[in-house]
Amino acid sequence: MAAERIISTPGSPQTQDDAVPTPVSENDVSSAPVKRRRVGVLLVIAILAYLIDLGSKLLVVARLEGKQPIEVIGDVVTLQVIRNAGAAFGMGQAMTIVFTMIAAAVIVVIWRIARRLYSLPWAIALGLLLGGAFGNLTDRLFRAPGIFRGHVVDFISVQHFAVFNLADSAIVCGGILVVLLSFRGSNPDGSTHQAPKADAGE
């Protein structure tokens, strides 16, 4: 029996084997959004915050400790060195070791978040928190009266408020930015979330 030949005519459907794949344009591939990790930004912000805090503490201890306060804005803002055994703004004087462990835990948490960090604003916020935490942790570890019990150097005194340092300021600014980003629905990985909307009948 003669071999049967199948000849496709114009307009006739092709089999799956005969189908020609549609070529993918290079523009379609290149147009896909590529997320960039922001760990580098986090580290730069953290290092800057840490170095500024450390430099300011070394300077005021060398120049101002044991001397009369320097007026910056009259009696409202002055510079005077105070050794703080507690947390930011002088709170919790009897819990030095506890606050040391909390600062170390904050650093670990931030580093874990950094593995999926793709948001620039979050990188800035976490960098401020990380630099500030490292700044005060350095005092806890290396200043008197001893390791894990070292007193933090505070030197910015605001009348009727508190005495603090630049690490405290970085932590507060980073914390405020984290709260604002969370309210806006922004996540560290660059995604966004929204609160579920209530039904119209409710």
Question: What are the extents of the domains in the chain?
Answer: 39-183
Average pLDDT over residues 154-160: 94
Confidence bin at 30 (pLDDT 50/70/90) = very low
154 is catalytic: yes
Q: What is the pLDDT of residues 132-156, one digit of tens each?
A: 999 999 998 999 888 888 899 999 9
Confidence bin at 15 (pLDDT 50/70/90) = very low
The string of DSSP codes covering 79-146 is: EEEEEE-SSGGG--TT-HHHHHHHHHHHHHHHHHHHTT---HHHHHHHHHHHHHHHHHHHHHHHSTT-
Catalytic residue among 28, 75, 154, 189: 154
Highest mean pLDDT among 16-20, 180-184, 195-199: 180-184
H and E: helices and strands count for the chain = 5, 4
- Lowest-confidence region among 15-19, 159-163, 169-173: 15-19
Amino acid letter, 95: M
Catalytic residue among 18, 53, 75, 168: 168
pTM for the whole structure: 0.76
168 is catalytic: yes
- Dihedral sign, CA of 118, 121, 123, 129? negative
* Alpha carbon distance 180, 184 (integer Å): 6
- Report whether pLDDT(16) > 70: no
Output the average pLDDT for the chain: 82
Provide the pLDDT for residue 166: 97
Pairing between β-strand 162-164 and β-strand 152-158 as defined by DSSP bridges? antiparallel
Q: What is the pLDDT of residues 81-135, one digit of tens each?
A: 999 886 555 555 555 677 778 888 889 999 999 989 999 999 999 999 999 999 9
Going by C-alpha positions, the residue among 93, 54, 78 that lies closest to residue 163 is 78
- Report whether pLDDT(52) > 70: yes
Neighbours of 77 (CB within 10 A): 14
